[in-house]
Structure 1
């Protein structure tokens, strides 16, 4: 009887005759410890200022090639001609070499023609041919063709025969 008082009902006692054994849940093993926190790289660093694209240094300009405000250059064409003046060939190649040294950015060629106001198609084709000729000369100087955007403007309000070369910093 003392044993019955000391032991709570069903603990350690054998089942009585005619009685089903007591079903008790088996204690689960303790959960494993959580993994140690992952070591992450240091948090975001303060943003580094993006260096400005340096403007190409001025160089001697041949006849027909002039500097524009903002670092761009203008090449003048004779009315109705597609090819740049022969005097500008070396300068365009040198300009292509200088522009190729810039770390990034695209060069834009804005080509214009003073063709007849009544025939916009002719002026557009002429400005495209001029732009392609200047692009070819810049590529010959080392500027990758993939960094050159060509915009054949056709006849504009200015009605000039020019191709403007705009470096990335000029925009």
Structure 2
């Protein structure tokens, strides 16, 4: 058993195993806040924002595992049928081609959804909204948990 734990620790998987502390934590206790990597920021009401480089639809470095953890937490907190998660993405440009901006936003939303699904949330519970170029001209995708209104509506 000790050798197995050493191998898991060396592979970086030990932290993902449930241990005695996890078994003793009260059921339904809030999960500790996530350490968000550069390129991600919290929004009000439990939403999160992923920022992208202009014109790029690849997730920023370190965002995929954090989005996976968000997906895992949403799956645990909202069982099947417990609400829909929305990913709203937008792009700052190109300003003269609405179709291209919408395609970039769609690719961003799909990348975020794939990372959430990798964490355990059912793909059919994640809606994507490609907003294209908005008046805010942001290069971002927002993850909105069930019951959270559109993030862009309050800005």
Which residue, 83, 93, 110 being the options, matches 1:115? 93
Indicate yes or no: 2:129 matched with 1:151.
Answer: yes
Distance in 2 between residues matched to 1:163 and 1:62, nearest whole Å: 15
TM-score, length-scaled by structure 2 = 0.72
Aligned residues: 118
CA RMSD of aligned residues (A): 1.7
Native 8 Å contact 1:55 1:169 kept in 2: no
Gaps spanning 5+ residues in structure 2: where?
Answer: 1-28, 150-155
**Structure 1, residues 28-84: CA drift from partner, whole Å, max 9, x if none?**
xxxxxxxxxxxxxxxxxxxxxxxxxx9876322111111101211000001111111
Change (3 A) 1:123 1:147: same
Give the counterpart of 2:44 among 46, 69, 74. Answer: 69
Moved over 4 A (4+): 54-57
Q: For 2:50, what is the secondary structure of its paired residue? A: strand
1:163 aligned onto 2:141: yes
The equivalences for 1:1-171 within 5 A come to 58-101=33-76, 102-103=78-79, 104-171=82-149
Larger radius of gyration: 1
What is the CA–CA distance in structure 1 between the aligned matches of 2:126 and 2:31, rounded to whole Å?
16
Deviation of 1:86 (Å): 2.1
